[in-house]
Chains A and B, each alone.
Chain A
Amino acid sequence: AQTVTQSQPEMSVQEAETVTLSCTYDTSESDYYLFWYKQPPSRQMILVIRQEAYKQQNATENRFSVNFQKAAKSFSLKISDSQLGDAAMYFCATGGSNYKLTFGKGTLLTVNP
């Protein structure tokens, strides 16, 4: 079984500053993936970043990067130079050999101008 915990229901950040969203997970899988998805009010889930658990190097995608601590089962998302368009719900998810995603409850990010 897999569980994902996002301990921050809401976060806010000033435009152009940096914010970190937290995620911890638990899984019995030895080979798994971790994802951050963004869900704006339009409801469409958009992939932000993806990390293979077997890779030690943290994934980065432009202004988005992760801090993957495998032993601690932690997978935080850092957003640098925050923009107004980054405002959304952010979901952490894990996927394994059962090919389904298990999501956390989400963190609502507000970006203040």
Chain B
Amino acid sequence: EVQLVESGGGLVKPGGSLRLSCAASGFTFSSYSMNWVRQAPGKGLGLEWVSSISSTSSYIYYADSMKGRFTISRDNAKNSLYLQMNSLRAEDTAVYYCAREGVENYFDYWGQGTLVTVSS
């Protein structure tokens, strides 16, 4: 059974940093691209793609609003995905999901999400 378990969320002050992790199991992690997607809480509709990393980390992409502040990485030996978030802003407050990428531009499995709250 494919499982994605995020951790590392919490309360952080504006300007602070946080590192999210996603532990993968039930599939060959090193064969799949992985992604981070976020959703602001209490604001109704809205999924926002954050970043993508290919299976060997050769290709990395970011949403424009995250470039320069967020860094995606992975450790295939540990079956883990990471998101380093720096210079956090109030508008970064959201539930952050990790998601496995299928063969052709879709996300076939999602984790349960971890909540990041940026507030003073």
B and A form one assembly = no
Residues in A lying within 8 Å of B, measured CB to CB = none
